[in-house]
Structures are given as C-alpha cells and as structure tokens.
A and B are shown apart, each in its own frame.
Chain A
Amino acid sequence: MKKNIKLFITLGLILMVGILSTACGEDKPTINVYNWGDYVDPDVIREFEEEFGVKVNYDTFATNEDMYVSIKKGGTSYDVVFPSDYMIERMIEEGLLEKLNKDNIPNLANIDERFLDLEFDPNNEYSVPYMWGTVGIVYNKNMVDDVVDSWDILWNEKYEGQILMLDSQRDSIGVALKKLGYSMNTRNLEELEEAKEELIKQKPLVYAYVGDEVKDLMVAEEAALAVVWSGEAIAIGRENDNVEFAIPKEGTNLWFDCMVIPKNAKNKELAEEFINFMNRPEIAARNTEYVGYSTANIKALEYLPDYIRNSSVAYPSDEELQNVEIFKDPKDFLSVYDEIWVEVKAQR
C-alpha cells in the first residue's frame, strides 16, 4: 500500500511538471502556419502579427509528401497550409480541408482569373492560389554549347557528371515521361516502365539528385545543367550572370501552391484573415520579390520591380505555356511511382 502512495506521488509530480510547462502560454490569439521553407518574406509575418495583435507560429516543410503525412498522421493542428495542386486534390478527396468562407477573403478578387477555378479545386472552394511556376532546365552558358530546348540534353553523354536532377520522384519521373512524349499524369504502366528505363539509363550521367542545394551548386558552377522549379532559376540568376533558364519544347509541368485551411484548424477566422492579408497587392508583391517565384496575384504585379515583372522565366509567354500539364493526384499509382524511384536510386 505504501508503495502505491509513493507511486501516486511520483506520477503526480510528473503530471504537474507537464501541466506547468504547457500552461504558461500567452493570451494573444495564435495561428499556426505551415509553409515551404524560404517561401515568405519574414517581415510580412511580423507585420501581420503587429496589425492584428496576434501571434503566428511559423513552421516549414520540404515536400508536399512530408506535409501531407504530418497533416494526416502527425496529430498536428495548423490553421493555414501551402500545398500544391495535386496534393490539394488528394486532401479535398480525403476530407482534410475546410471550405473557405469567401466573405472573409475579399482580396480573392486580386487573383489572376487564369489561376482560378482550376481542375484540382473547381470554384476555389478550398484554396487560394499563392505562387505558381514551371519546371525547366537551368544551365550555365559557359559550360553548355548546345541549344537547350529539349529534355534530351539531360541524356547527352557530353555532359556526363555535370547534370543535376531533382531529388523528387514526381518531378524526375515527369521529366522522363515528357522526354518520351507521354503525359506526366499517365496511368499506363508500360509508359511508366519506359520512363524508369530512361532514368536508369541517365543515372551514370547524373552528378547528383538534389533539393535545395541546387542553388548553391549552380551558383558555384559545380554543374552545367539542372532541372529546377522556375523560382529557383531566378534566385540563381541573381547570383550568377552566366545562368539561363529554358522550358523544353516537349512541355513541362505547371504548378500552383495555394493557401488552404485544414479541417482541424483551431482559428479559422484568423486563418482567413491571414489569407486575405497575404493577398493585399503590396504584401503579395513583397513576398514575390523575396521568394522569386511567380505571384498569382495580378494586382501585385504593379508593385514589382521591372526585372521581375518582365522576366520571361517568372512570367513565360502563353506560347511557352502551351504544352504544360498540371499534376493530378496519382492515387493508387502512388506505390508505382514509389517503386520506380527506389529502383532508379538503388541502381548502381
């Protein structure tokens, strides 16, 4: 019996420490924002906090997939999240997102009509576009003497050991599919198998499969060619004048990152306030200038410096956007992608 009392005391002490350490939070309303790394101007967040007298807990992720897993299984509670197109489609389907109250987001009117009402979220019931971009090849003029206008150049043996691919299964398999003339959203096993063979064939030429490091490597001229998202090309171009960006003629991926509110959000009104704030033209312009990607906010364009507004990298012509495809959720094909990627990676 005595032993039990002591056990109680110990448990009590442990519980008290736990309670005390969580109970001393502030009274200010807070929202939890979950965004891609390096994808917002930090001053903008500070301004939002001051203007609304709230606290923003800001957290980042590196890929749509790891964001999805932590929303779905992580027991987390975020109020605003920034997923991409195909992931929004999946999250809507699985009932992970809350419908937006558009009355609270009047600045939705600032969004370019071209980017509203897209297939992954008809009528924009769940999402407000934030940034968009393409996938293309960034290359160093001094190291590449061929014309870069096709994905084929990434299979050119001349550039052995000088090619950087994206360490992202969806994008790399997409590149191989486009090179072969197939859709990036193919659900044909034979086409995917061919894409896998293509990537295995390419592997000896690849210097590395990279994520964010691509910026440093291209700026330092460690590689000649790299597959990148368009905004990275702008960031690299700011630091190295020899670098150019090209969208291959076979077509590429057009993507959108949007703001959404997950089902388990604790402060939906404030989250909508935040989305509205992010779409004020001058705020959107500051974010755009900071991150280098292309804004979906048409009113923000006037606030941008000329070199960004007139950049063909960030704002390609309609002609260049002719062959683009938006990713669709692979659904049951996810495991096929996954296994292709393991096989490519494990290949020696």
Chain B
Amino acid sequence: MRMKWTSYPYILWMIIFIVVPLALILLYSFTVGEEGGITNLRFSLDNFRRFLDPKYLDVLWISINLALKSTLITMVLGYPLAMIIAKEKPKKRNVMILLLVIPMWMNFLLRTYAWLTLLGKNGFINYIITKLGFAPLNLIYNDRAVLLGMVYNFLPFMVLPIYSVLVKIDKSLIEAAEDLGANKFEVFSKVTFPLSIPGIITGITMVFMPAVSTFVISRLLGGGQYMLIGNLVEQQYLWVGDWHFGSAISIIMMAFILVTMAITAKFDNQKEGGGGLW
C-alpha cells in the first residue's frame, strides 16, 4: 500500500492527537506511582482491581442502564420520524432535515441549560400546569430528566443514519413486494426494515457512545445526584488528580464501547449496503 505524500500531515495529526494520547492512557492505566516522569511509574493492575469495588461497579451499571434506555427511546422515537422524512418529496425532505439539525448549531451546553428553566419547580412547564389548575410536578433532578436530556440531545444521531439508509432503498423493491401481494405491514417487516438495519446499527452506536460517557447532562439535569462513569472519570482527572485510576476507568469504558461496536458490527456484516454516517 503506497500512500501519497500529501497524506503525511494527516498521519502526523493522527499520531499526535489519537495514537499518542491513547498510548498514554494505556500506560497510565497499567501503572501506579507518583508524578515525576515516566521513569517513576511501576506496572500494576491496582487501578483495575480498585474498579471491581461494588461502589464503582454500581456506577458502571447505572451508566449502562441509562445509556441503554436512552438508546432504546431514541430508536423508538427516531425510526418513525426517519420514515416520515424519507417518504417526503426531496424539497420538503431537505427542509425537515434542516429543521432537525438547526438546534445542533447551538451549543450543546446551552441547550441543556435551557431545560433547567423549562423543567424547574417554578419553571415554564410547571407554570402552565399550575395555571391549568393542577399540582406542580417534580420534573427535574431525577432519572426522567437525565433521560430526557439524553434523548433530546442525541435524537438527531439516531434519525440521520436511519434516514440516509431509508432514502437510498430502491423503490422498485417495495413495488415488487406490493405486486407480489404483500400488505403494508409485510412490506415493512420483510423489506424496508431489514434493509434499514445498517442505519439502525449506526444510530445505536452513535447514541450509545455519547450517552454512556456523558457527564454534563447527568450533572445539570440530574442535579449532581448521579455519579455516572463520565462523572467518575472527570472527578479523577480534574479534582482528585489520580490520572492512573481515571485512565483505567476510561479504558474499561472504551472496552465496553468496543464490545458493543463489535456486536453491532456483526449484525452489520450480515447485510449489504451503506452504513449511513460511518
């Protein structure tokens, strides 16, 4: 394989910003020792052993649980939406996609902050509810608020890949199915859905990855009552300064994401067709 010399800057870029940091995280995760240069590090599995403590496993479990739930919800919400958009005429379709993407032009943090004022005890939603004569609801600082934040922020990542696969489906396949006597449900379950699986799988990875590692959503909408795995890494790096343990947690998280990607890729390989955004 011969690479053009114009690709060297990219390779250099990747070495500096991807390979070296990853190698450092690996190095830190398998070592202990006070700072003072690489020479003072000793090989150790202590960081990983420490993670096996029930309190950290709980954190991992809560994170995975929330991430799975939000992935499922975005899928249930996102698939019909992608279908609706894909069925429209190109012009209308583009407008709809634009509308879906426009909120993403705004800063992610700002959009999450906006939910605080909407969901608060005296926030906008509760204002309307009380005006209608009902008792105010507890909307913020709980599981549902965190889930809502994840679903809201990551929905486009589910819709876009599914949409891009659905648009590319050859219409004649659907017509053929109809000609052969399939009803609407059968067309969907036997033709459209199987063909769209690569999109769904891309969508799942695109949502699951940020959801399992988020630390902003859980802090803002969870009122700091949630220690998710992302918060744990943040805590180790920023406040405790234990980069070894922080790196080990990152490696464990990466391993989890890799496993999920491997599983989903297995599904993906069984089907032909484009994988959306990847």
Contacts and interface: CB of A to CB of B under 8 A. Distances in A.
Contact of B225 (A63, A169, A208, A341): A208
A69 B232 contact: no
Contact of A345 (B140, B225, B237, B243): B225
Contacts of A339: 55
A209 B225 CA distance: 6
Interface in B241-259: 241-243
B194 interface: no
Interface in A325-345: 334-335, 338-339, 341-343, 345
Nearest to B13: A14
Contacts of B5: 3, 6-7, 10
Contacts of B122: 220-222
Given A208-B225, A209-B225, A14 B9 contact: yes
B241 A68 contact: yes
Contacts of A209: 223-225
Given A10-B9, A14-B9, A343-B55, A208 B224 contact: yes
| Chain A CB within 10 A, most for which of B62, B237, B238 | B238
Interface in B202-256: 219, 223-227, 231-232, 235, 237-243
Interface string B1-15: 000010011001000
Contacts of B231: 345
A55 B120 CA distance: 42
Most chain A CB within 10 A, of B12, B56, B59, B241, is at B241
B58 A66 contact: no
Contacts of A10: 5, 8-9, 12
B44 interface: no
Nearest to A210: B224
Interface in B113-130: 116, 120-122
Interface in A193-216: 203, 206-211, 213
A65 interface: yes
Interface of A: 3, 6-7, 10-11, 13-14, 63, 65-66, 68-69, 72-73, 161, 167, 169, 203, 206-211, 213, 217, 220-223, 334-335, 338-339, 341-343, 345-346, 348
Given A69-B239, A73-B243, A342-B227, 8 more contacts: A10-B12, A63-B238, A65-B238, A208-B140, A208-B223, A342-B55, A345-B224, A346-B58
18 contacts: A3-B5, A7-B5, A65-B238, A65-B239, A69-B237, A69-B241, A72-B241, A161-B138, A208-B141, A213-B116, A221-B122, A222-B120, A338-B239, A342-B59, A342-B235, A345-B225, A345-B227, A348-B62
